[in-house]
Amino acid sequence: MGETLELARALIARRSVTPEDGGCQALIGERLRALGFVLEPLASGGVTNLWARRGRAAPLVCFAGHTDVVPPGPLAHWRSDPFVPTERDGRLYGRGAADMKTSLAAFVTATERFLAARPDAPGSIAFLLTSDEEGDATDGTVKVVDRLEARGERIDYCIVGEPTCVERLGDTVKNGRRGSLGGRLVVKGVQGHVAYPQLARNPVHLFAPALAELAATEWDRGNEYFPPTTWQVSNLRAGTGAVNVVPGELEVLFNFRFSTASTAEGLQERVRAILDRHALEYELAWSLSAQPFLTPRGTLVAALSAAIRAVTGVTAEVSTTGGTSDGRFIARICAQIVEFGPVNASIHKLDEHVALDALEPLSAIYQRSLEQLLA
């Protein structure tokens, strides 16, 4: 059994359904302490976090990730217990195998091998771990970043171990993510009987022209790294349930996934302008859950891409697709962030798995990245 596989199995066996950590960070911490890392646990709101750093010199390379996993769902539908790591058909099965306990194991073994070969390497290495990525993400990475920011501690390069690959290890690196801006719109009308529409004001009818304009609006054209910003209605509710009542108000839930070509403030202003142009009476509340972040091609992207090519022979695509990640918090104190991990086809699914022959190459990629960044 390889070292990365052994550690991945030990992590999968720990039931760390969000926001529980299940002892994963303690296990990793023991390995890091033996390498000379100084450990700073940070508990917040029932969440377990860990900042571990070795060295004080620049540059600082950080490995970031989460020890929590999503619930497994119906256990009877799994071919094997999701918290008993199982090998079959060339794969390692278990909840968190792909998202992202294999990456965590590879972070550790890559660091151990790098320091064994270069114990006096310049710069510093850190680990930022949380058990709150799959949940509300209010007491996890953001709290660690708050602490680091308060004392002026910054990260030069950060690799987040999210599963990014599509078909084979090495095919995709994420160098940014879109922002997420949600809105709750309540359009006011006047409730009444459908037989007497002149005595009522139907908010559904009133909103329809504005909805058409919002859906047809080009918010931006994206840029070299991001697709155009999108606006989508996620829920629309009105009425009492009776067929003969004109509703008194309409509730609309919507979301922007926006690139660095737009700002949250600009999108909010444009939405209000459209609603006002249609003379609607409304209430509008916003929820900004993620700002977009981007790392253009440069030192970190080049180092990771070269490491991937050296280990796998694959030229990685640099992409910003997908949802949000904890990189949105780390971006406050780090100018260069990338995400890279195993194939993501089975994440959050029954029988989640990772290819066994990807584990040691993943560790080797992380190790080569350290070698280039801390040369």
Q: In this structure, what is the dihedral angle of CA atoms 228, 233, 234, 237, given to the nearest 10 degrees?
A: 170
Q: Which helix (H) or strand (E) holds 258?
A: strand 249-258
> For residue 149, how far is the Cα from the chain centroid?
20
Which letter, b or e, does each residue of 337-354 get, where b requires 16 or more Cβ atoms within 10 Å of its Cβ? bbbbbbbbebbeeebbbb
- Please spell the DSSP secondary structure of 128-187, one letter per residue: EEES-TTTT-SSSHHHHHHHHHHTT--EEEEEE----BSSSTTSEEE-EE-EEEEEEEEE
Compute the distance between CA of residue 161 and CA of residue 99 in angstroms, rounded to an integer. Answer: 8
Residues in the chain: 375
* 336 neighbors 64 (Cβ within 8 angstroms): no
Q: How far is CA 185 from CA 27, 189, 212, 247, in A?
A: 46, 13, 15, 15
C-alpha gyration radius of the chain: 24
Q: Which helix (H) or strand (E) holds 125?
A: strand 124-130
Question: Within 13 Å of residue 320, how many CA atoms lie on the same side as its CB?
Answer: 25
- Catalytic residue numbers read 68, 133
Compute the distance between CA of residue 266 and CA of residue 179 in angstroms, rounded to an integer. Answer: 13
The residue type at 102: T
